Structure 1
Amino acid sequence: MSSSDGSAMPTRRHVIGAAGAVACGAALAGCAAGPPGPAVVPPGVKGQVVAKVADVPVGGGMVLTKWKIVIAQPTAGVFKAFSASCPHRGCAVSRPAEGVIRCPCHGSEFDAVSGKCLKGPAEAPLAEFALRVEGDGIVMV
């Protein structure tokens, strides 16, 4: 097909493809903008007692494989919860020890207080989940 000036008219396929490319670009730009939102607690765990305070050692922690959550107690009475999936490739991290959460797959290390990546190849922190202590139980909020 050609127009009156002799140039080729775009086909419907070209127009739809270009529109799709623009939409994808806009979506990707939106994903890259700004800090990530709050982590969403895995289904079925919100409001549940996931561990007993006595089961989480000071300076260490535990991994709750059922929900892919790691609980740390970096200092006495301070409890933190993070995703137990390494942001690098999704491997399960090990329980916290000496203030560090390690990924056994590729050697990434994360701070047990903040979830911040201390050593790569991971670049992003572990997603943090909110929790509270109720009596002798740790509850996900």
Structure 2
Amino acid sequence: MDAQRRTVLAAGAAGAAALVTGCGDGGGDTETDLPAPPPATQESPTGAPADAGAPDSLPPAGKELTQTADIPVEGGRIFADEKVVVTQPVKGEFKAFSAICTHQGCTVTRVEDGVINCPCHGGQYRIADGSVARGPATRALPPEQITVSGDSILLA
């Protein structure tokens, strides 16, 4: 069976080579015979760059979630729309975790007394590192990327 497979692969490679060879215009095989690529940025009829919003464009620097003053020391705040919880375990140190409980996917609802609380089955996570403080969850909340810029907390 391996001999048949090799034959098919060899025939496939030979066919691909023939297709590539057949795609030329017969005028030569150097790079200078290829048409020039389009300009890097083209304008649409509205005057905006045609590639605006293209998948290969750079993402924005970050979405502002809140101000540092809005996150209590030894506490935190849940951002349900973004599915993230931001904590401040000690003054000036901000952490972020997924707001989705690792037990059964409920969204956490409260941050108090140094823990992030899940309402579904009473699970708790530590605000300093997202680790399990009380089950039934057995896995920590995954960390999320945030950036503190001045007084703003940005979701990366």
| 2:110–2:118 contact (8 Å) kept in structure 1 | no
1:96 to partner: Cα distance:
1.8
| 2:103–2:138 contact (8 Å) kept in structure 1 | yes
1:95 to partner: Cα distance:
3.0
Aligned pair in 2 of structure 1 residues 45, 68: CA closer, same or farther (>3 Å)?
A: farther
Quick one: which of 74, 86, 98 aligns to 2:89? 74
Quick one: which of 80, 104, 114 aligns to 1:89? 104
How far apart in 2 are the matches of 1:116 and 1:123?
A: 9
Does structure 1 residue 107 correspond to structure 2 residue 135? no
Q: Deviations over 1:4-55 (max 9, x none)?
A: xxxxxxxxxxxxxxxxxxxxxxxxxxxxxxxxxxxxxxxx997111111111
Quick one: which of 106, 119, 126 aligns to 2:134? 119
Aligned pair in 2 of structure 1 residues 65, 46: CA closer, same or farther (>3 Å)?
A: farther
**Same amino acid, percent of matched pairs:** 42
1:127 to partner: Cα distance:
0.7
* TM-score with structure 1 setting the length: 0.65
Q: Aligned Cα RMSD in Å? A: 1.6
SS in 2 for 1:54: helix
Q: Which segments of 5 or more consecutive residues in structure 1 lack a partner in the other structure?
A: 1-43
How many residue pairs align between the two structures? Answer: 98
Aligned to 1:31: none
How far apart in 1 are the matches of 2:109 and 2:73?
A: 16
Quick one: which of 47, 51, 76 aligns to 1:61? 76
